[in-house]
Amino acid sequence: MAVTGSPELLVVMGASATSDQTEHVLARLAEQGIDARVQRGREATVIGLIGDREQLALLPLEGFPGVESVVPILKPYKLVARESAPDPTVIEVDGRRVGDGWFGLIAGPCSVETRAQTLETARAVAAAGATWLRGGAFKPRTSPYAFQGIGVEGLDILREAKAETGLPIVTELMDPRHVEAVLDAADVIQIGARNSQNFLLLAEVGRTDKPVLLKRGASTSVEELLMAAEYVAKEGNDRIILCERGIKTFETATRYTLDLGAVAALKMETHLPVIVDPSHPAGRRDLVLPLARAAVAVGADGIIVETHPRPEEALSDAAQQIPSAEFGAFADEIRAFVALMGKQIG
């Protein structure tokens, strides 16, 4: 069997495996046209396989008699892996950039509630020199009794906010049935933490031509987040921004535990921009600025922050939203930290 290159998958035959069992595995691999290299040791026999991911996934090798374990050598993602792109990815909308030295300052209300509330916030965010405007028209709420967003009416308001301020719009898509409506208003499609592993939705946005802001699920590992991004990229859309927004731990001092280590690790693993949402892990507004500063320091490519003209009236996430009147000062503070890192707001 002609084998070139190094193996992508190792099949370990147990110490008690018979040579017939090894031959059976080799015969099935040959039938599938998979190259194999056998190494017979004193304790175990190891078969190294070479083939593409999809081909190797077709054989349930771990179920074969005599097989002790199957050890993947390849990472489970390739399109989003650092090695697959020569340079870091920059996501540009209307000349406003995120990634590779361009720090994205993305801000806006948690939810689009009313026209006045959204336009007032958008003006404050634009005046502060932000990159993009965020705001949810469709809201993924833990309780079915909580405010669910105003839906398509909110999308009209976001369009108006963009027309007035020129700020590109980031808004969440929850349901594949809303793709067309959301695409009509969104410059960047947000996939929320709760849909981080909704693979059909990920594939759906992978077939669009809009950038995707993919949030990490509260119980999703770094590797799972990268595989979720791979679902989008596999469909042809590689304009993806990853977002760390806090994970569930035993800690109750903050709403979620902001996993800054994940940001550093992601930056090493992928060419995609990685941003931080300091608002949801903080859960209270006085923690947002310190977490945002930490995000800049760890090397994040941006932050997405919630701000509301009158947080005490907010229909969602009231405790963590920064009053819009204070957002300019917040942005100035962040801008100084961004400059220290040798970057600029995109």
Q: Does 140 bind ligand PEP (CB under 6 A)?
A: yes
CB of 331 to ligand PEP, least distance (A): 18
The total of other beta-carbon atoms located within 10 Å of residue 307's CB is 29
Residues 176-215 touching ligand PEP, rule: CB under 6 A, are: 192-194, 215
User: How far is Cα of residue 283 from the mean position of the Cα atoms in its chain?
Assistant: 20
Q: Does 106 bind ligand PEP (CB under 6 A)?
A: no
Residue 284-303 contact track with ligand PEP, rule CB under 6 A, x = bound: --------------------
Q: Does 269 bind Mn ion (CB under 5 A)?
A: no
193 is in the binding site of which of Mn ion, ligand PEP, none (Cβ under 5 to 8 A by kind)? ligand PEP
Total chain residues near ligand PEP (CB under 6 A): 10
Question: Which region, judged by CB under 5 A, interacts with Mn ion, from 185-193, 196-204, 290-298, 315-323?
Answer: 315-323
Q: Does 97 bind ligand PEP (CB under 6 A)?
A: no
- Closer residue to Mn ion (CB): 174 or 227: 174
CB of 233 to ligand PEP, least distance (A): 20
Alpha carbon distance 216, 296 (integer Å): 18
Alpha carbon distance 73, 89 (integer Å): 26
Mark out the alpha helices in 166-287 (DSSP H runs): 179-185, 199-206, 222-234, 260-269, 279-282
Question: Which region, judged by CB under 5 A, interacts with Mn ion, from 80-88, 110-118, 183-191, 199-207?
Answer: 110-118
Q: Does 174 bind ligand PEP (CB under 6 A)?
A: no
CA–CA distances in Å: residue 13 to residues 2, 7, 76, 127, 281 = 22, 16, 23, 65, 46
Catalogue the E-assigned strands of the chain. Answer: 9-13, 35-40, 45-50, 67-72, 91-93, 96-98, 102-108, 132-134, 169-172, 188-191, 212-215, 240-244, 274-276, 302-308, 322-323, 344-345
Strand pairing category for 322-323 and 302-308: parallel
- Closer residue to Mn ion (CB): 259 or 317: 317
In the complex, residue closest to Mn ion by CB = 110
CB of 280 to Mn ion, least distance (A): 6
Three-state SS for 322? strand
Burial of 83 (0-12, 13-18, 19+ CB in 10 A): exposed
Q: Does 120 bind Mn ion (CB under 5 A)?
A: no
Q: Which of 161, 196, 317, 330 binds Mn ion (CB under 5 A)?
A: 317
C-beta of residue 241 within 8 angstroms of C-beta of residue 272: yes
CB of 128 to ligand PEP, least distance (A): 19
Alpha carbon distance 293, 276 (integer Å): 10
- Closer residue to ligand PEP (CB): 97 or 255: 255
Positions in the binding site for ligand PEP (CB under 6 A): 110, 136, 140, 192-194, 215, 245, 277, 280
